[in-house]
Structure 1
Amino acid sequence: MSECSSCGKVVDVAAMEDSQRRTLKIVLAINLATFVMMMGAAWFSRSSSLLSGGLDNLGDALTYAVSLAVVGSSLQTKAKVAFLKGLLILGAAIAVAAQIVWRLQNPGVPVFEAMGLAGALNLAANAFCLWLLTPHRNGDINLSSAWECSRNDIYEGFAVLLAAFAVWVFGTGWPDLVIASALLLMFLRSASRVLRGAWRELRGATPAPSACELP
């Protein structure tokens, strides 16, 4: 009886890991596609908030890729991956900061129609990813961190739509820069928390918090 029970547990774990891999592959593909779409829209519309969203999608795609690679790995390995996720968030923040500085030196009014369309498509894609990841939200740090990233994407999606609406209402580019700056602060704080938590985990202290944790 105990052997059968043990076999059943092994089968359940294997099925769970297969389900995690399938979900991560789907959300990885979606984020790669939305990254290309958002970067094209950011270039066309000259929007810093769209650039922020596009880089966030790239960071998420890389996050899902490394999460996929360590499904079933040890907690120590997953902590190392969490540290890498923190570095990816920090890299996105640096890129957004550079874009904001450039836009301040080269002011202009973004094309709000392109911002709104790209933002709406991105929000819909992120909502679908969140729905796919929700059944795994209470799993280990690997999948729960991916869910946290996806949930943050929802807030980022609404922020981009808000920026597009404000640009349309006021006819100026400052709302786009304000939203991009807010996203920058979120990235910096999130990166700091993730890196500190992962470092504590690697040193054998308390468990690391979920990646992309909200400020």
Structure 2
Amino acid sequence: MSDCRGCGKVVNVASMQDSQRRTLKIVLAINLATFVMMMGAAWFSRSSSLLSGGLDNLGDAFTYAVSLAVVGSSLQMKAKVAFLKGLLILGAAVAVAAQIAWRLNNPGVPVFEAMGVAGVLNLAANAYCLWLLTPHRNGDINLSSAWECSRNDIYEGCAVLLAAIAVWVFGAGWPDLVIASALLLLFLRSAVRVMRGALQELRGTRCVPCQEESGGPAVG
């Protein structure tokens, strides 16, 4: 047991970090698996929304990998990694924008059955990841930014299912492009949020208070 004089939270730091590592390893494995599944389904169905979802899962896998690497590091290092996560989300947005532009020049109707099956599997996996990360969402910038990525995955999963239904109803490819464009905006918004939070942490404007009555310094 740690010697706790300054902050009551010090005692459980080791177990908290172990819990964070276990959670990140699980969600990392899930996102790698769903990336492979989504990319295969996107190729088969010719769906831009599935492609955007697959790229998002790949970006999340990198996010969870770097989050895992800095568990237990300083707040400054975690903030720098969080900024990198924002850049990864931004990169996914650029890739989705390029795919949308290509599809506009090469129109087609996606296979909605493949979109639907992949969308259901992806949403279920994303919901499980969010459930695992939710207990850590109010922790440090490292886990809170990982939770932000996972929450976006729920929106993305619902959007892909909506795209599949709309393609089936209208028998056209434009709903797929509309949903992909909406996901593009979501990625951009999330990238801005994550990078802003990281910059605030680096500038010292974010505060993780300790128990004020203890009179001791907060432990990072």
TM-score (norm 1): 0.90
One-letter code of the match for 1:33? A
SS at structure 2 position matched to 1:126 = helix
Aligned pairs, how many?
205
Q: How far 1:192 sits from its partner (Å)?
A: 2.5
The ranges of structure 1 where at least 4 consecutive aligned residues each deviate by more than 3 angstroms after the TM superposition are: 2-6, 8-11
Match of 1:45 in 2: 45
> Residues 191 and 3 (structure 1 numbering): CA distance in 2 closer, same or farther, change over 3 Å?
closer
Match of 2:194 in 1: 194
Q: Could you tell me how far apart the structure 2 residues matched to 1:189 and 1:4 are? A: 42
Q: Whose relative contact order is higher, 1 or 2, with alpha carbons under 8 Å and at least 6 apart?
A: 2
> Residues 78 and 108 (structure 1 numbering): CA distance in 2 closer, same or farther, change over 3 Å?
same
> Residues 3 and 89 (structure 1 numbering): CA distance in 2 closer, same or farther, change over 3 Å?
closer
Correspondence list, 1:37-186, <5 A: 37-186=37-186
Q: How far 1:132 sits from its partner (Å)?
A: 1.0
| Further displaced range: 165-174 or 137-146 | 137-146
> Residues 200 and 131 (structure 1 numbering): CA distance in 2 closer, same or farther, change over 3 Å?
closer
Q: How far 1:131 sits from its partner (Å)?
A: 1.1
Q: How far 1:194 sits from its partner (Å)?
A: 2.4
Q: Could you tell me how far apart the structure 1 residues matched to 2:123 and 2:198 are? A: 29
SS at structure 1 position matched to 2:110 = coil
> Residues 45 and 11 (structure 1 numbering): CA distance in 2 closer, same or farther, change over 3 Å?
same
Task: Provide the aligned C-alpha RMSD in A.
Answer: 1.9
Q: How far 1:64 sits from its partner (Å)?
A: 0.4
Q: How far 1:188 sits from its partner (Å)?
A: 1.5
Q: Could you tell me how far apart the structure 2 residues matched to 1:95 and 1:3 are? A: 47
Match of 1:206 in 2: 205
Is the Cα–Cα contact under 8 Å of residues 2 and 11 in structure 2 kept in the other structure?
Answer: no
Q: Could you tell me how far apart the structure 1 residues matched to 2:64 and 2:194 are? A: 16
One-letter code of the match for 1:79? A
Structure 2: give runs of 5+ residues left out of the alignment.
208-220
Q: Could you tell me how far apart the structure 2 residues matched to 1:84 and 1:60 are? A: 12
One-letter code of the match for 1:207? R
TM-score (norm 2): 0.88
Is the Cα–Cα contact under 8 Å of residues 86 and 195 in structure 2 kept in the other structure?
Answer: yes
> Residues 74 and 5 (structure 1 numbering): CA distance in 2 closer, same or farther, change over 3 Å?
closer
> Residues 182 and 4 (structure 1 numbering): CA distance in 2 closer, same or farther, change over 3 Å?
closer
Q: Could you tell me how far apart the structure 1 residues matched to 2:129 and 2:194 are? A: 21
SS at structure 1 position matched to 2:43 = helix
Structure 1: give runs of 5+ residues left out of the alignment.
209-215
Q: How far 1:133 sits from its partner (Å)?
A: 1.1
SS at structure 2 position matched to 1:196 = helix
C-alpha distance after superposition, 1:29-50 (max 9, x if no partner) = 0000000000010010000000
Q: Could you tell me how far apart the structure 2 residues matched to 1:133 and 1:87 are? A: 21
Q: Could you tell me how far apart the structure 2 residues matched to 1:45 and 1:132 are? A: 30
Is the Cα–Cα contact under 8 Å of residues 48 and 180 in structure 2 kept in the other structure?
Answer: yes
Q: Could you tell me how far apart the structure 2 residues matched to 1:141 and 1:98 are? A: 30
